[in-house]
């Protein structure tokens, strides 16, 4: 399920991080920051632990965090989810995705994702017994062809699983694309599941939650995660919001996956969500600067660079260096020059893997000097 040859092995992130560790390479593969998030959020977790917030949280999440999530949706997008019935805290976005698909997919139902797709989507669709249908995102912008998108829908389409801003390509979907997805989901009676974990990591373009568009809210579950926004990927606090009936169905599944999620971290993330606007603009500006450092270095190293509008990933084409197979290159790169990256074909079914065969993903959520050193090492490939 996880790899192009159809086997459920170790995830590509685990494989490349292990390789980076064993070779001592700079790890620009697995997407995690090399600096922790705000000190006040850490202090809030420590104080919650000291004050005894160490037993099970309520299954749907602590009241403080659900209220903070609802307030965040209002503050940034003018949305008004009810914190009691329309918000659910999860163990990372990964659990939100799994619980949502398990809640709604019956064997034989179709789940439409864009391709390349985040690796857990294919695995969970398989575990739920669904059929995974894909619509390609096309270079250079990595957006779908709107004239052809309807061809990917059918009467069996149960869920459109969207990731915006998009991992691995860094695309941020503009309003016309989102509007077309809503129209088609409504026409075919599909639920929209929108994974927006990179909602605050966009560079000069506005993130539009698909649920905010006309006709979308009644059929949309929106997923996010503290890992990305606050740089605490190891805390595994995520959440989702949507109409009460849909959220209740997901909550039922979540009860039997994890029951509840880390109590002291929930208190701390509630503090994080209330941080002032400068925090949110600050993370985007800092990342944009890092993106520019790595993009320039990759261009100088001879790659074809696709500049992302969001996320913390850059895709490059290895073909200008005479390298056609990014999966093979990714396995050799740590030993060759001391840098690890993720090959894009692993986020695809065979046809998509062929289309993305020379694409490689680098994470730039790292310190500037680390990015500069990685670029210098990659320049020796030429
Ligand atoms: N969705 C996407 C698109 C991601 O890139 C990731 C990983 N960072 C996740 C979901 C999983 O998020 P979490 O670590 O909160 O489970
Ligand atoms: N989301 C991160 C990435 O895309 C990795 C998460 C994981 O290791 N599962 O790199």
Give per-residue pLDDT as tens, 13-22: 899 999 999 9
Residues 25 and 44 in one domain: no
Residues 141 and 234 in one domain: yes
Q: Separation of 378 CA from ligand 2 center, angstroms? A: 22
Look up the CATH number of the domain holding residue 372.
3.90.1150.10
pLDDT at 188 over 60: yes
- Nearest ligand to the C-alpha of residue 14? 2
Q: Separation of 31 CA from ligand 1 center, angstroms? A: 9
pLDDT at 122 over 60: yes
pLDDT at 25 over 50: yes
What confidence score (pLDDT) does residue 349 get?
Answer: 96
Q: Is 7 domain-assigned? A: no
What confidence score (pLDDT) does residue 11 get?
Answer: 85
Yes or no: say if 137 and 158 are a contact pair by the CB < 8 Å rule.
Answer: no
Which among 249, 273, 297 is the end of a domain? Answer: 273
Nearest CA to 77 among 220, 181, 190? 220
pLDDT at 123 over 90: yes
Residues 234 and 338 in one domain: no
Q: What is the mean pLDDT of the chain?
A: 96
Residues 80 and 213 in one domain: yes
Look up the CATH number of the domain holding residue 90.
3.40.640.10
Yes or no: say if 89 and 270 are a contact pair by the CB < 8 Å rule.
Answer: no
2 pLDDT band, cuts 50/70/90, is: very low
Q: Is 2 domain-assigned? A: no
Give per-residue pLDDT as tens, 38-72: 999 999 999 999 999 999 999 999 999 999 999 99
Residues 191 and 88 in one domain: yes
Residues 267 and 284 in one domain: no
User: What is the pTM assigned to this prediction?
Assistant: 0.96
Q: Is 4 domain-assigned? A: no
Backbone angles phi, psi at 56, to 5 degrees: -45, 135
Note down the domain range covering 242: 39-273
Task: Kindly give the number of the ligand 2 atom that is closest to the alpha carbon of 13.
Answer: 8
pLDDT at 4 over 80: no
What confidence score (pLDDT) does residue 197 get?
Answer: 98
Q: Is 197 domain-assigned? A: yes
3-state helix/strand/coil string of the chain: CCCCCCCCCCCHHHHHHHHHHHHCCEECCCCCCCCCCCHHHHHHHHHHHHCCCCCCCCCCCCHHHHHHHHHHHHHHHCCCCCCCCCEEEECHHHHHHHHHHHHHCCCCCEEEEEECCCHHHHHHHHHCCCEEEEEECECCCCECCCCCHHHHCCCCEEEEEEECCCCCCCCCCCHHHHHHHHHHHHHHCCEEEEECCCCCCECCCCCCCHHHCCCCHHHEEEEEEHHHHHCCHHHCCEEEECCHHHHHHHHHHHHHHCCCCCHHHHHHHHHHHCCCHHHHHHHHHHHHHHHHHHHHHHHHCCCEEECCCECCEEEEECHHHCCCCHHHHHHHHHHHHCEECEEHHHHCCHHHHHHCCCEEEEECCCCHHHHHHHHHHHHHHC
Yes or no: say if 142 and 171 are a contact pair by the CB < 8 Å rule.
Answer: yes
Which among 250, 273, 296 is the end of a domain? Answer: 273
Mean pLDDT in residue range 278-300: 98
Residues 132 and 255 in one domain: yes
Q: Is 32 domain-assigned? A: yes
Residues 267 and 323 in one domain: no
What confidence score (pLDDT) does residue 8 get?
Answer: 55
pLDDT at 362 over 90: yes
Q: Is 3 domain-assigned? A: no
What confidence score (pLDDT) does residue 109 get?
Answer: 98
Which of 11, 18, 32, 229 to mutate to test ligand 2, by most ligand atoms within 8 A of the CB atom?
Answer: 32
- Nearest ligand to the C-alpha of residue 228? 1
Residues 62 and 132 in one domain: yes
ipTM (interface pTM)? 0.97
Which of 11, 13, 315, 344 to mutate to test ligand 2, by most ligand atoms within 8 A of the CB atom?
Answer: 13
Mean pLDDT in residue range 339-347: 96
Which among 239, 273, 307 is the end of a domain? Answer: 273
Residues 335 and 265 in one domain: no
Q: Is 194 domain-assigned? A: yes
Q: Is 1 domain-assigned? A: no
92 lines ligand 1 (CB under 6 A): yes
The closest residue, in CA terms, to atom 15 on ligand 1 is: 92
Give per-residue pLDDT as tens, 227-278: 999 999 999 999 999 999 999 999 999 999 999 999 999 999 999 999 999 9
Ramachandran quadrant class, 92 (left: phi over 0; alpha: psi -120 to 50; beta: rest): left
Give per-residue pLDDT as tens, 132-178: 999 999 999 999 999 999 999 999 999 999 999 999 999 999 999 99
């Amino acid at each position: 399920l996880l790899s192009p040859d159809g086997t459920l092995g170790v995830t590509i992130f685990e494989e490349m991080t292990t390789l980076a560790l064993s070779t001592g390479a700079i790890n620009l593969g697995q997407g995690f920051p090399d600096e922790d998030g705000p000190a006040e959020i850490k202090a809030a977790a420590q104080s919650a632990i000291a004050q005894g917030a160490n037993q099970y949280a309520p299954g749907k999440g602590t009241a403080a965090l659900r209220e903070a999530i609802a307030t965040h949706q209002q503050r940034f997008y003018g949305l008004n989810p009810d914190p009691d019935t329309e918000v659910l805290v999860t163990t990372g976005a990964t659990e939100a995705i799994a619980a949502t698909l398990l809640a709604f997919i019956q064997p034989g139902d179709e789940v439409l994702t864009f391709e390349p797709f985040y690796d857990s989507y294919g695995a969970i669709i398989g575990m739920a017994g669904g059929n995974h249908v894909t619509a390609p995102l096309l270079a250079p912008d990595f957006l779908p062809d709107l004239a052809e998108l309807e061809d990917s829908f059918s009467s069996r389409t149960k869920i459109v699983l969207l990731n915006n801003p998009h991992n691995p390509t860094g695309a941020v979907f503009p309003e016309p694309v989102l509007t077309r997805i809503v129209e088609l989901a409504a026409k075919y009676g599909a639920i929209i599941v929108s994974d927006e974990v990179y909602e605050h990591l966009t560079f000069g373009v506005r993130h539009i939650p698909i649920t905010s568009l006309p006709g979308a809210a009644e059929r949309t579950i929106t997923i996010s995660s503290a890992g990305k926004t606050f740089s605490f990927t190891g805390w595994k606090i995520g959440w989702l919001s949507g109409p009460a009936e849909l959220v209740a169905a997901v909550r039922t599944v979540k009860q039997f996956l994890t029951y509840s999620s880390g109590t002291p971290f929930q208190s701390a993330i509630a503090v994080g969500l209330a941080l002032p606007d400068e925090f949110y603009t600050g993370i985007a500006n800092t990342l944009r600067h890092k993106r520019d450092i790595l993009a320039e270095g990759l261009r100088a190293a001879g790659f074809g660079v696709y500049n992302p509008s969001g996320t913390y990933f850059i895709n490059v084409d290895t073909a200008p260096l005479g390298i056609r197979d990014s999966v093979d290159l990714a396995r050799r790169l740590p030993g060759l020059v001391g840098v690890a990256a993720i090959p894009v074909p692993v986020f695809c079914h065979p046809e998509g893997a062929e289309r993305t065969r020379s694409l490689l993903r680098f994470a730039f959520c790292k310190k500037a000097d680390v990015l500069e050193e990685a670029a210098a090492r990659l320049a020796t490939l030429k």
